[in-house]
Structures are given as C-alpha cells and as structure tokens.
Amino acid sequence: MRIQGRSIGISAYLIVLFLPIYWLLNMSFKTNAEITSRLSFWPQHVTFRNYAHIFFDPVWRGGFIHSLSYVCLNTVISVTVALPAAYAFSRYRFIGDKHLFFWLLSNLMAPAAVFAMPFFNLYYSVGLFDTIWAVALAHCLFNVPLAVWILEGFISGIPREIDETASLDGYAFPRFFVKIFLPLIANGIGVAAFFCFMFSWVEQLLASTLTTIHAKPIASVMTQVYSAAGMDWGLLSAAGVLTMIPGAVVIWFVRNHIAKGFALGRV
Amino acid sequence: MMDKPWSNRAWFFVIPVLVVVLFSSLLPMMTVVNYSVQDTMGQNHFFWNGAAWFQNLLDPTTDIGGRFASALVRNLIFSFVVLMIELPLGIAVAICIPRHGWKVGATLVLIALPLLIPWTVVGTIWEIFARQDIGLLGAALNGIGVHYNDTQDPTSAWATIVMMDVWHWTGMIALLSYAGLKAIPDAFYQAARIDGASRWSVFRNIELPKLQKVLVIAVLLRFMESFMIYTEPSVVTGGGPGEATSFLSLDLVKIALGQVDLGNAAAMSIVYYLITLTICWIFFTIMTQLDQRKGA
C-alpha cells in the first residue's frame, strides 16, 4: 500500500516535471505558422526544418562547438588543478588551511554578476577576450573550488593507511599518486568532472559577456533569434531541445554516483 | 579530523589552485575595489572619491540606494519563498524515489535533467510555456478563467519565476536528501517497525535528524543560487513588469554593463559580495560544527 503511494507520488512529480519539456519538444516539430495560429497537443504537420536549419547553419553549429569546447577545457583545468589541493586539504593540516578552504568556498558563492564587469576588463587587457580560454578560465572562479570541495570529500573517504602502506612498500609519492591513488578515487574524479561540466554548461552570464563573435556560446546565438524579424519560436525550441542532450548524456554516466556527488561527497 | 599531521609542505599542493583563483577571483575583485573609491570624468581619467559611492548606496533616500534596498528586499523574499517550497517538496520526492531495481537509475536521471539545462534555455522553456497565446500553462490558466499574464501583471510574473525555480531546482534537494536517506542503516527502520512506530514518527525521529547534514548543504546551495539568480528571470521577464522581478543581479548588470555606471556598480558589487560572504560564513560555521559533532 505504502509502496504504491510512493510510486504515484514520484510519477506525478515526473509528469509535472516533463510538461514544459514536452511542450518545447512539441513546438520544435511545428512550423511557425502552426505555432502562432492555434494550440495543439501534438504537431499537425511534423517538420524537421527547425533542426535542419541548426545543423546546416555554421553560426548555430559554431555556437554548440564553442560551448562544448570551453566546457571541456574548463573541466580539464579545474579537475587537474583541484586534485593535489584536495589531497592536501584532506590529509594534512597547515598554516591557514581552514581560512583558505573557506575563501575557496566563498568564490563558489560569489555572484557572477559581480564579476562580469571586471572579467570583461581583465580578459580584454590580456588579449583573451572572445576566445574559449576566457570563458574556460572565468568559469574556474566557481568550478575550481567546487572540484576541490567534492574531491576532498571523496579523498577523506579513503583511509590514510593506504598512503602509509604504499610509502613503506617503497613507492615514491608521484608514482603512488598516479598508480594507486587516482584509480581509488576514480568515482570522485568522475563526479567532480560531471559537476564542472554541468556548471560550466549551464552558466551563461559570463559566457556571453566575454565573447562576441569567435567564441560565441550557444546561448548568445539563441538570443539573436529574438532580434530577427518576428520570433522564430520553432527554431528557438529546437535549439533548446538540442542543448538538453549533452546534459542527459553525462548524467547517464554518473547516475549511480550523482546523489553522493550532490552531497559533495559528504554522506 | 584531529589526527591529521601538520605539514606546511602541503602548501605546494595548493599552489596551482591558488594561482588560478588569484587570477580569476582576486585580481578582478581588486578592479572592483578600485572603481568603488574613484570617480571618472571620462577619457580614463580617474580621481579619488572616498566612500561617497558607498554612502549613496546605503542611503535608501537616494536614487541608487532606494533601488538597491528594494532589489535586496525582493531578492530575500524570493529566496525565502523558493526555499520554503523546494525544501519540503524535495524531501517528499526523495522519500518517494524507489530504492531497488532499474527504476532507481532512471528516476535519478529524470529528476536531475532540469539541472543540466543551460539557464537561458530554462528561461526560454518557461517563456514559451507561460505565454497565454502559445504556451500550455498560460493558455490553460486563462482557459479556466484565471487572469494570468506574466509580462503585464506583477503577480503572474512572480508566480512564473517561483514556479520556474521550483521546477528547476527541486531535483537538487531531492537528490541530496536521497543520498542522505540511503545512508540510514536498515536496522533503524527494523527497530522502528518492532516498536510499531507510525510513518510520521519514523520520518520525524529517524529520517529528519539523519538528513540534517545534507539539508544544511542543500539550504546553503539553494540560498546562494537563488540569491544570485540572473539568467532565468532576465529571459522570462527581464526584471519586469516595471521593477517587479528586478533582483540584485539583474539590477547590477543593468547598472554595470547597461549604463556603464562604474562607481555605483562597483560599490554595489562589493556590498552584494559582502552580504553573500557573511551568509556563507554562517552556513560554513554551522556545517563544520556539525562535522565535528559527528566526529566526536
């Protein structure tokens, strides 16, 4: 009886959750004439024109490629830089460790709007403006602290005896770290990479502030549908549907660890 | 916690992080501090302006001060409202998530999906969904006789933004709570069954206390994220109608990038940042204390 109540509850939640997404899908297969003329629960004349437009237009394609490149670049930088730091925070006490940890955390909480203007000046002056590097580095603002935090949680779950045993067995530290330690926290690395990917992929304010033409993210391309003659709702919906795919793919890979990841490795 | 060895050589491990964060956080922050104490006559000619920008900002009778104060109040109300809805709903959803079989993975993926949609797209989805002419929600509400128009009517605009946020983020609280629930050993439930405890008292006396730690993280993340919300409302309502949904970040971006009013924007940035920092510190202290109590 109780089990049944639960499945009804979760089903109801999922149905409500998918209403807006269903509507977006519905719109993406309609022509604009149909969208504006009447409301219908499924497309009367299914069209792939909207999707075809995105695939064959270099500006749209470019938007997807730029977004995915800075996201991947950022993920690699964040996790690589965060790994040794997370190890240090998890295994040792040192002068100022707690303050440093809090300061990192505070960057995770810094409003992106505060940084939009100074980032613009900074990257403009060092000549990185309008490159994927600018966005990838800017997103380090919150992704590096996030990665440190998640990895620290996972590393603390590995007993320190392993470090000591390896050192007694004559492993030098770098070799121990790469050969033994990294495989042990592979889950943690996966989860940290997932979260870096996620937050870099969804963030749009900095991404669109720091780019104009050559590294324009998909979000900026989407806003330009507005200024074109009238609203191209069908095209906008199709683009929206396509942006959900990378996210859905990466969640599938971490589905077994995602809950623990959201608790920042601290359950 | 306590038996960690002292070693200042650990600093070497932290250096890469320090370099990256200095470049992407401290350096830009110093630019803001710089602007906040100077005024300009144009042509890159700056002069010392003391604390004048800050005095203006913190005085609600001035133009900018009034704007800041009302945006701050709006933002605090918004954060409070979404937390009050998302927290109970998220816990309820977590309790409903199946525990065994293939359904677990599928449910988790579906629940997490909205979290991985770019924020502009979340805005676009709801912009379309809520329109009275072509959107399912707007058309349905108007169809049953509710007056609903999210671009003209402040109440509808607020309702849309709150619904959107609940839709977007409840999944995160559900996933966090689910992780917390899964960590409760079966023995606890068995003991409760032997005692003949009701479902409510199982929740009240076993599940809720065990969830305390993840819920603190959830509240921290949710509060911060809602306190700096920008992209979604900027797409759906653009801060309007009028100033009705103009939250702190929206206002700040308008001043900084729209009007290029550097002094006011910089002062506002710093005050805004200090507020988040203070709240963050309070949560952090609570969290570390919970950690220690658990360790003891």
Q: Which residue has the higher pLDDT, A145 or B288?
A: A145
Find, among B272, B103, B91, B242, the residue nearest to A255 by Cα. Answer: B103
For the cut 60, the answer to whether the pLDDT of residue B189 exceeds it is: yes
* Cα–Cα distance measured from residue B192 to residue B185, given in angstroms and rounded to the nearest whole number: 12
Find, among B254, B265, B245, the residue nearest to B74 by Cα. Answer: B245
B241-270 pLDDT, tens digit each: 878 888 888 888 888 777 777 788 888 888
Helix (H/G/I), strand (E/B), else coil: A33 = helix
pTM of the model: 0.86
Compute the mean pLDDT over every residue in chain B, rounded to the nearest whole number: 84
Helix B119-130 × helix A2-28 angle, to 10°? 90
Give how many domains chain A has, as a whole number: 2
Selected for mutation to probe chain A from B95, B116, B181 (highest A CB count within 10 Å) is: B116
**Pairing, β B46-48 against β B38-40:** antiparallel
Q: Which of B10, B172, B182 sits opposite A88 (nearest CB)?
A: B10
Q: Which pLDDT tens digits describe chain A residue by residue (267 residues)?
A: 466 788 888 999 999 999 999 999 998 898 877 877 777 888 888 888 889 888 888 888 888 999 999 999 999 999 999 999 999 998 888 888 888 888 888 887 778 888 887 888 888 888 888 889 999 999 998 899 889 988 988 888 888 888 888 888 888 888 888 888 899 888 889 888 988 998 899 988 888 888 888 888 888 888 777 645 567 888 889 999 999 999 888 888 887 777 777 766 665
B63-97 pLDDT, tens digit each: 788 888 888 999 999 999 999 999 999 999 999 98
* Most distant CA atoms of chain B, gap in Å: 79
A207 within a domain of the structure (yes/no): yes
B27 within a domain of the structure (yes/no): no
| pLDDT value, residue B162 | 94
B119 within a domain of the structure (yes/no): yes
| pLDDT value, residue A77 | 94
* Cα–Cα distance measured from residue A84 to residue B17, given in angstroms and rounded to the nearest whole number: 9
| Confidence at B8, pLDDT banded by 50, 70, 90 | confident
A173 within a domain of the structure (yes/no): yes
Cβ <8 Å between B217 and A266: yes
Interface residue B222 vs chain A (CB under 8 A) = no
| pLDDT value, residue B42 | 64
The reply to whether A113 and A213 lie within a common domain is: yes
| pLDDT value, residue A76 | 95
Which CATH number is B101's domain given? 1.10.3720.10
Cβ <8 Å between B129 and A84: no
**Half-sphere exposure (CA, 13 Å, Cβ side) for B110?**
21
Cβ <8 Å between A258 and B112: yes
Selected for mutation to probe chain B from A25, A200, A267 (highest B CB count within 10 Å) is: A267
Selected for mutation to probe chain B from A81, A262, A264, A266 (highest B CB count within 10 Å) is: A262
- Which of A9, A29, A47 terminates a domain? The answer is A47
Q: Which residue has the tokens 């920092």?
A: B277
A267 within a domain of the structure (yes/no): no
Cβ <8 Å between B217 and A263: yes
| pLDDT value, residue A84 | 92
| pLDDT value, residue B296 | 44
Question: Cα distance from A243 to chain B (closest Cα, Å)?
Answer: 7
Q: What is the mean pLDDT of residues B15-22?
A: 88
Q: Which of residues 3-22 of B touch A (CB under 8 A)?
A: 4-11, 13-14, 16-17, 20-21
Say how many C-beta atoms besides its own lie within 10 A of residue A29's C-beta.
21
* Measured CA distances, B219 to B77, B80, B283 (Å): 15, 10, 9
The reply to whether A72 and A12 lie within a common domain is: no
- Which of A27, A47, A67 terminates a domain? The answer is A47
Contact A130, A215 (CB under 8 A): yes
Return the structure tokens found at B130: 């809520």
- % residues pLDDT > 70 (chain B): 96
| pLDDT value, residue B167 | 94
Question: Cα distance from B61 to chain A (closest Cα, Å)?
Answer: 24
| pLDDT value, residue B169 | 93
Domain that holds residue B274: 68-295
| pLDDT value, residue B142 | 85
Residues of chain B neighbouring A194 (CB-CB closer than 8 A): none
Which CATH number is A67's domain given? 1.10.3720.10
Cβ <8 Å between B125 and A104: no
The reply to whether A64 and A135 lie within a common domain is: yes
Domain that holds residue A168: 55-262
| Confidence at B12, pLDDT banded by 50, 70, 90 | confident
* Cα–Cα distance measured from residue A65 to residue A76, given in angstroms and rounded to the nearest whole number: 17
* Cα–Cα distance measured from residue A173 to residue A181, given in angstroms and rounded to the nearest whole number: 10
Give how many domains chain B has, as a whole number: 1
B72 within a domain of the structure (yes/no): yes
Contact A237, A50 (CB under 8 A): yes
* Measured CA distances, B257 to A115, A153, B45, B199, B245 (Å): 11, 38, 19, 53, 19
